[in-house]
Every structure is written in structure tokens, then in C-alpha cells.
Amino acid sequence: MTRRLAAILAADVVGYSRLMGRDEQGTLTRLKGHRTDRLEPVLARHSGRLVKLTGDGVLVEFPSAVDALGAAIEFQQLMMEANAASPRTRPLYSASACISVTSLSIAMISMVTV
């Protein structure tokens, strides 16, 4: 078994249920666009690995807390810029985030097919 330290970032969209209630299709379209255009490039620049998507949330692994914090700050800044450029009639997005540094245990499992 291998052990290593990792920083885990959990983030979600603030007010997601309210946004979905107002405009479900538009909210989903914008959420996917923000993920593709903003989140994924930020994760790549900060060595983040997307572990799980949970509707409006993400769980991301980073090699260090510095990388996780840098990604969280950069993503928030990009979202503030996107919100400032959007018309007032469209919902505004904000993400809440939590970062935890933890030790991961990685078990190597080999599968044999018969």
C-alpha cells in the first residue's frame, strides 16, 4: 500500500436550487460552459485531478494545499469576471469551496481474468 499527502478541494454553486428553479436548461448549459471554459483549464494549470462531479459540485485532488488554494482563487476570479460581463437578467454564479489536506492510502489491485 502506498501513502501520499494530497489536498482535497470540494466546491459547489451557491444558490443552485434557486437557479434551477428559475431556468433549469439555461442553468445546466451555463454550468457546463463554466466547467469546460474555466474550471478544467484552471485544474490543468494547478495540477488538479477531477475526482467526482456531483451535479453542481466538484471534488478535486491536488498535490499540495498551495495548488488547491491557487486554483480556488483563480477560479473565483474568473467567475467574478464572467458574472460582471453577464446581463443583470441572468443568474450570477458563485462557488463555495473547502480545502482539506489529508493522507491517502492507495492500494494496488490486480485483476486476473480467466
What digits encode the pLDDT tens for the residues 41-71? 999 999 999 999 988 889 999 999 899 989 9
Residue 113 in grid coordinates = 481474468
Residue 36 resides in a domain = yes
When pLDDT is averaged across residues 7-16 and rounded to a whole number, the result is: 86
The answer as to whether 113 is a domain residue is: no
Q: By residue range, what is the domain housing residue 85?
A: 2-106
Contacts of 59 (CB under 8 A, 6+ apart): 8, 9, 10, 50, 51, 52
On whether residue 112 sits in a domain, the answer given is: no
Amino acid at 77: Q
Q: Is the pLDDT of residue 91 over 80?
A: no
The answer to whether position 29 is within a domain reads yes
Q: What does pLDDT average to over the chain?
A: 82
- CATH code: domain of residue 7: 3.30.70.1230
Q: What residue has cell string 482535497? A: 8
Give residue-wise pLDDT tens across range 76-87. 899 888 888 876
Identify whether 94 is part of a domain: yes
Q: What is the band of 110 on the pLDDT scale with cuts at 50, 70, 90?
A: very low
DSSP 43: H
Residue 94 contacts residue 54 (beta carbons within 8 Å): no
How many domains, the chain?
Answer: 1
Judge contact between 92 and 84, C-beta under 8 A: no
The residue-averaged pLDDT of 101-110 equals 55
pLDDT of residue 45: 98
